[in-house]
Structure 1
């Protein structure tokens, strides 16, 4: 009752989770570098999948969804941590704090959903390779993704819905950012009741999704035993990327949970390191795993940069003769203009220039290769076996 009477109106919170960090600027710069690399890598993956129509397939749509989830997770909290460590700005307004809490936990829930759906995709690709494209189509993947986002929002909406009506007795958050535990401990109520509810939700989501992933791989292992050695290599290649991503996400979570259950007392720096690692490592590792191990995405990146380089080289080659003409001594007309009439008032001193300039489009026999370089056609897409199509070669 005394705490309720001592409640205050909070307009902003002060984040003090990094107060005991020995080298805050160095840690902040490290987080900043990881954050920038993760954002650029995930954005590049999304752009490549959207840009290349050959990648408009269920598997790559799921990879694109995972990249969006990684962007949401790391972008929700990293700027706040960087601001606290590098610039020393520890305050955050009340409403942005609640938004950060919602988006962070939404990203965590969607990460489990995305990994589960990708496990289902691998199971169908291995067990039913010839029926894969009839079972998983682009419209079905899009609808399933929308449903998962709606379900995740429904689960996570409990966090702000349970915190907003409560009165606050503290404006200091002894955490790295605005998580649910941080905001709830700043209220005037006993947090155990709410923690039990959240623990039930987290356990249900984590146990169900992780169990589904494990069952999917049990099915994959069963089909591996029935396959030839060549097919086993393909199956192992197509599942390795997903296994790496699952490991990077679940290992930090299980380590924190196991240490907590065993009663191991962690220092604030150790707990901060585990929490930051569980946020940044998956967002950083996921795009590189799928970029380096997925042949189609890697080829898409190479083709995109090749097109950009070829376009830049072609534009320079077309305009460089004109630049050399107007920047040097008097000479003949620019090679890409054809004179049609003489003694024009547009003529420069000592020149006979055309009265009306029309672009000259040379034919294949008269084209100057320095001016009009031949375009290099990209290689035709290969036709893969339905199973090999989804193998990360």
Structure 2
């Protein structure tokens, strides 16, 4: 009987329910989802286009901003298209291979984005604490190498996740109460022992979020100390202004990420539809807000965007 109830993971087809309890409102929910997605693509592709066209913006700060834009595009595109297929066409089925691929890429890009935020904090540290050596320490070639390191670290951390899931047996009931294949959401419907999956996902959360946040906070402690030593009030405000955009992006990215992780593991009292909506907003809202934040706070980028907008 046990053998009858188990299906080899390689041939499994899962069902993504969308947002449990709100199935009747899927069409209405899809409207803000699709609007946010379009704005995220428009904003991030605008950043990539403007930085690519303007030679004056080919600096480490803007190259890192392009990496952030690519990460945001990757994160939202890993989740939203499938969610809209569920909302609009009721296409809820997904193969095991498709599920593992989606899970791999969305977690991969999340880890890459976290590393890019750390690199951006280091960029601000060098710009404020060692301005005379900025071009020496952070050349464009080094930024490219740093981007490669971010990708390699993410691959090494995330690759075990689909491998760990692929070894698990899945029962006849393969319904995932979510809009996308999140690692623990898939693991929880397995008939096997998922202790290793739980432990490894917590290790990744600690390594990526805790350590990356610690490095960012340490960078800003040193930056703040350097700013407080500046005697000129005008220079004081200018130095603070260069960090404001990055701090806002950190808050929007890590706050939603931490909330999603904690509620998924410890928030049993939170309604499932609330958790799933917030988990989706984690992939969407930062992707919408980041180009706006940098566009508003960075005069040079704002002017260049305005120049190309006026030509249209």
Output the TM-score relative to the length of structure 2.
0.93
Check 1:263–1:71 CA distance in 2 against 1; reply closer, same or farther (3 A cut). Answer: closer
Partner of 1:168: 170
Partner of 1:178: 181
Partner of 2:309: 305
Report deviation, 1:45.
Answer: 0.5
Alignment partner of 1:271 is 2:289? no
The question of whether the paired residues in 2 share the 8 Å contact of 1:127 and 1:223 is answered with yes
Check 1:74–1:262 CA distance in 2 against 1; reply closer, same or farther (3 A cut). Answer: closer
Rounded Cα–Cα distance in structure 1 between residues aligned with 2:194 and 2:274 = 23
Check 1:241–1:198 CA distance in 2 against 1; reply closer, same or farther (3 A cut). Answer: same
The question of whether the paired residues in 1 share the 8 Å contact of 2:161 and 2:197 is answered with no
Partner of 1:214: 217
Report deviation, 1:192.
Answer: 2.6
* 1:135-154 correspondence to structure 2 within 5 Å: 135-154=137-156
Report deviation, 1:150.
Answer: 1.1
Check 1:132–1:174 CA distance in 2 against 1; reply closer, same or farther (3 A cut). Answer: same
What is the Cα-based RMSD across aligned positions, in Å?
Answer: 1.8
Check 1:196–1:5 CA distance in 2 against 1; reply closer, same or farther (3 A cut). Answer: farther
Query: Would you say how many aligned residue pairs link Structure 1 and Structure 2?
Result: 307
Check 1:256–1:96 CA distance in 2 against 1; reply closer, same or farther (3 A cut). Answer: closer
1:69 corresponds to which of 68, 71, 74: 71
Residue 13 of structure 1 aligns to a residue whose secondary structure is: strand
Partner of 1:89: 91
| Greater Cα offset, 165-174 or 272-281 | 165-174
CA shift digits 1:231-266 (9 cap, x unpaired):
111111100000110000111233345557876610
| Greater Cα offset, 256-265 or 282-291 | 256-265
Rounded Cα–Cα distance in structure 1 between residues aligned with 2:66 and 2:182 = 26
CA shift digits 1:3-33 (9 cap, x unpaired):
5552124442111142311521111111011
Output the TM-score relative to the length of structure 1.
0.74
The question of whether the paired residues in 1 share the 8 Å contact of 2:13 and 2:174 is answered with yes
| Greater Cα offset, 108-117 or 190-199 | 190-199
Check 1:109–1:62 CA distance in 2 against 1; reply closer, same or farther (3 A cut). Answer: same
Rounded Cα–Cα distance in structure 2 between residues aligned with 1:270 and 1:221 = 37
1:125 corresponds to which of 113, 124, 127: 127
The question of whether the paired residues in 1 share the 8 Å contact of 2:260 and 2:282 is answered with no
The question of whether the paired residues in 2 share the 8 Å contact of 1:102 and 1:156 is answered with yes
Structure 1 spans left out of the alignment, 5+ residues: 310-393
Residue 131 of structure 1 aligns to a residue whose secondary structure is: helix
Partner of 1:241: 245
CA shift digits 1:259-314 (9 cap, x unpaired):
578766100111112211211111110111112221221222222234x45xxxxx
Report deviation, 1:183.
Answer: 2.2
The question of whether the paired residues in 2 share the 8 Å contact of 1:119 and 1:213 is answered with yes
Larger Rg: 1
Check 1:194–1:76 CA distance in 2 against 1; reply closer, same or farther (3 A cut). Answer: same
Alignment partner of 1:199 is 2:199? no
Partner of 2:45: 43
Rounded Cα–Cα distance in structure 1 between residues aligned with 2:134 and 2:239 = 14
- The structure carrying a bigger helix percent of its residues is 2
Rounded Cα–Cα distance in structure 1 between residues aligned with 2:259 and 2:65 = 26
Alignment partner of 1:13 is 2:17? no
Rounded Cα–Cα distance in structure 1 between residues aligned with 2:165 and 2:277 = 26
Higher relative contact order (CA 8 A, sep 6+): 2
Rounded Cα–Cα distance in structure 2 between residues aligned with 1:210 and 1:42 = 24
Rounded Cα–Cα distance in structure 1 between residues aligned with 2:223 and 2:162 = 39
